[in-house]
């Protein structure tokens, strides 16, 4: 069974948990002890981006695992597959992966070209389990660099793939506002409270709590912050669109524009590697970015008619069935059919995003 088949099997579990969180939030809201954290359009958009990420993975996985395998085969400094496949070895590999993930995640917030990919995950102004599924389609193109140490250490590709999946699946449950602080657990592991801080745009919370499974990396390297005020979610340059293709392209487009308008060639390159938001002086004068003000945040929530919601839900579910079939049989399909099927499904999800801007009535 490959990774994509595991994702297909896990999808019903994801949806059940999302449904339970939604129902629990509604119940708490009626009781006056909490609030509902879901919006229909935002949830559809987040899951659509997760689907596009998996479709993209059908093509980028060959690149990323191929590079990892090539380095492992030709340059591994230690060959002990029997150790890595043991229980202790697997645990060591999982901690090793989480350590590498911490530095990838941290770089994803401090380097513009990496943020252009990772920022997709932060665009939602809601914070719930569907946000966990909101993933980038372009991230794997550069993220493999941060896992080269594992290949050099001799972690077999098979073990690497398993611990990567475990680390990813673990992070699903921490995307919720319905679980409060967990005492000692918050001090060792990435928890809902810790990860809420990471997703917040509050000044004190910005660029904190990068850990995937363990929060101890943040404690060791000075990036840990406890949740002590209400979190506001999203990005400081709001997406304000339900188009999943634009969601993946938005930050790249802004970087291209800044690079194009930079006068010195050094700055044309520097734009991509400086922290997000950095601009050369002449670009800042010509294309100034609005200063961020937490008090002026507005929620992007164009009204949806009941008919539009039903149309979106129907198309979305049909496309989801198509994606499940494509991912399940991906390793048996010719590359041409795989590419055509993926393109049609991507076009379908683009239509879903556009449809959520249409307001029509049945009668």
Q: Which residues lie across from 214 on neighbouring strands?
A: 189
Q: Per-residue pLDDT for 359 more than 60? A: no
What does the pLDDT read at residue 249?
97
pLDDT digit string, tens, across residues 338-353: 999 999 999 999 999 9
191 pLDDT band (50/70/90 cuts)?
Answer: very high
First and final C-alpha spacing in the chain: 48
Helices vs. strands in the chain: H and E counts, helices first: 17, 0
Percent of the chain scoring above 90 in pLDDT: 87
Chain-centroid distance, C-alpha 264: 33
Query: What does the pLDDT look like over 222-233, one tens digit per residue?
Result: 999 999 999 999
Higher pLDDT, 4 or 109: 109
- The reported pTM is 0.93
For tokens 């981006």, what's the residue?
49
Token look-up 């100034």 returns 288
What six digits make up the tokens of 223?
């990036």
- pLDDT digits over 19-61, tens only? 999 999 999 999 999 899 999 999 999 999 999 999 999 999 8
Supply the pLDDT for residue 288: 86
Residue-by-residue DSSP string for 269-321 = HHHHHSPTT---HHHHHHSPPPPP-GGG---------HHHHHHHHHHHHHHHH
To the nearest whole percent, how much of the chain has pLDDT over 70? 98
Q: What is the pLDDT of residues 67-117, one digit of tens each?
A: 999 999 999 999 898 999 999 999 999 999 999 999 999 999 999 999 999
Q: 299-310, pLDDT tens digit by residue?
A: 999 999 899 999
- State the average pLDDT for the chain: 94
Q: How confident is the model at residue 291 (pLDDT cuts 50, 70, 90)?
A: confident
What average pLDDT score do residues 243-265 get?
96
Distance from C-alpha of 113 to C-alpha of 101, rounded to nearest angstrom: 17
Please tell me the number of Cα atoms within 13 Å of 66 on its side-chain side. 9
Among candidate residues 58, 28, 48, the one with its CA nearest the CA of residue 134: 48
Q: What is the mean pLDDT of residues 197-212?
A: 97
């Amino acid at each position: 069974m490959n990774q994509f088949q595991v994702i297909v099997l896990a999808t019903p579990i994801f949806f059940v948990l999302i449904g339970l969180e939604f129902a629990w939030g509604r119940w708490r809201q009626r009781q006056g002890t909490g609030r509902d954290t879901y919006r229909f359009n935002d949830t559809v958009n987040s899951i659509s981006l997760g689907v596009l990420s998996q479709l993209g993975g059908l093509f980028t996985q060959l690149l990323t695992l191929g590079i990892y395998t090539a380095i492992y085969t030709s340059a591994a400094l230690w060959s002990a597959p029997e150790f890595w496949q043991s229980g202790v070895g697997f645990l060591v590999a999982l901690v090793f992966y989480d350590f590498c993930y911490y530095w990838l995640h941290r770089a994803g917030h401090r380097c513009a070209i990496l943020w252009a990919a990772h920022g997709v995950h932060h665009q939602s102004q809601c914070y719930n389990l569907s946000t966990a599924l909101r993933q980038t389609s372009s991230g794997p193109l550069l993220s493999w660099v941060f896992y080269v140490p594992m290949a050099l250490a001799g972690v077999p590709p098979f073990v690497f793939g398993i611990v990567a999946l475990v680390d990813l699946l673990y992070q699903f449950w921490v995307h919720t506002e319905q679980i409060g602080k967990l005492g000692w657990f918050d001090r060792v592991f990435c928890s809902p409270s810790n990860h809420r801080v990471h997703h917040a745009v509050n000044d004190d919370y910005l660029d904190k709590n990068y850990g995937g499974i363990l929060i101890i990396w943040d404690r060791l390297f000075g990036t840990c912050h406890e949740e002590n005020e209400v979190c506001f979610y999203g990005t400081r340059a709001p997406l304000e669109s339900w188009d999943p293709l634009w969601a993946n392209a938005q930050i790249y487009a802004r970087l291209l524009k800044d690079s194009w308008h930079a006068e010195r060639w050094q700055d044309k390159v520097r734009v991509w590697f400086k922290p997000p938001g950095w601009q050369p002086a002449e670009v800042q004068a010509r294309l100034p970015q609005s200063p961020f003000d937490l008090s002026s945040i507005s929620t992007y929530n164009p009204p949806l008619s009941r008919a539009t919601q039903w149309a979106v839900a129907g198309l979305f579910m049909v496309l989801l069935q198509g994606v499940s079939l494509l991912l399940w049989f991906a390793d048996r399909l010719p590359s041409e059919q795989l590419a055509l099927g993926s393109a049609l499904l991507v076009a379908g999800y683009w239509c879903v995003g556009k449809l959520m801007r249409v307001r029509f009535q049945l009668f």
